[in-house]
Amino acid sequence: MDLPRGVDSKFRYILLAAKRARQLQAGAKPLVQAATKKPTKIAQMEIEAGLVPFEILETSANGGDKKARSGT
């Protein structure tokens, strides 16, 4: 499995796709034209196209969060 650019792990990809699929099921409009109606597949297509923004937060030693980088 090749990960989309900006996604650092399979685990993060699955979390992003699951969260976006839940948004689609709740009535969010798809960001891509798709032949399928399946929210999980549409979410994957959106992530691969770089249309789903996300941030990766890095936890510092003192317990605070620090922005490491942002996705597409």
> Would residue 5 count as lying in a domain?
no
pLDDT band at 4 (very low <50, low <70, confident <90, very high): confident
Distance CA(48)–CA(32), nearest Å, equals 11
> Would residue 3 count as lying in a domain?
no
CB of 71 closer than 8 Å to CB of 6: yes
Q: What does the block give as tokens for 69?
A: 């980088």
Work out how many domains the chain is built from and give that number.
1
> Would residue 34 count as lying in a domain?
yes
Which residue, chain included where needed, has tokens 């992530």?
Answer: 47
Q: For position 52, which CATH number holds? A: 3.90.940.10
> Would residue 56 count as lying in a domain?
yes
pLDDT band at 3 (very low <50, low <70, confident <90, very high): confident
Residue of 14, 49, 17, 15 whose CA lies nearest to 32: 49
What global pTM score does this model have?
Answer: 0.76
Q: Residue 47: which domain range? A: 10-70
